[in-house]
Amino acid sequence: MSIRGQIRVLNVAEKPSVAKSVAEILSRGGSGMRSREGRSRYNRVFEFEYAIGGQLCHMLMTSVTGHLMEIDFEDRFRKWHSCDPADLYHAPIRKYVPQDKLDLKRTLEEEARSCHWLVLWLDCDREGENIAFEVVDVCTSANSHLNIWRARFSALIDREIHASVQNLVRPNKLFADAVDARKLT
């Protein structure tokens, strides 16, 4: 259990194996780490204590499985013969969590409600940034007061992971938007 007044940090990795590896590294080999099931049986939640910038934090580490959301036209524009193709240039689009990812969404919402920070452990490329903002959208819908951070790392080794969490940066919305724009063209 976390100590009253302690910062609660929801950490989200791009895939379950990365979440487990980062949790093991930050918890010093798993000592003191607890593991429990999330709503998706493939995406566990790991809990442990860790100090960020000298502040002891209660860490919750989980994952997604790649993209959490899909982009598509609204229903009335989705059938081939439902409209003039030229109308699609101005047709509204929607970004949504598909049925097969709803358990992941629920886990993120439930965990985010009790947290102060959100730390994103996704690949350090534009696609990873795009997934990061999908996670941000879901988590901030449940808790609009989250302090949002991005961990930048290139390898799952102790030195990289510890340095990354001690030097968190803000995620880059422009990189994420570039991926969405590419998907629409």
Domains in the chain: boundaries: 7-184
Check: CATH 3.40.190.10 for 7-184?
Answer: no
Give the predicted TM-score (pTM) of the model.
0.85
Model confidence at 80: pLDDT above 90: no
Q: Which of 23-43 are b and which e, b meaning 16 or more Cβ less than 10 Å from the residue's Cβ?
A: bbbbbeeeeebeeeebbbeeb
For 107-161, the pLDDT digits (tens) are 999 999 999 999 999 988 888 888 999 999 999 999 999 999 999 999 999 999 9
Geometric angle at alpha carbon 44, from 115 and 66, rounded to 5°: 90
Q: Which pLDDT does position 64 carry in this prediction?
A: 96
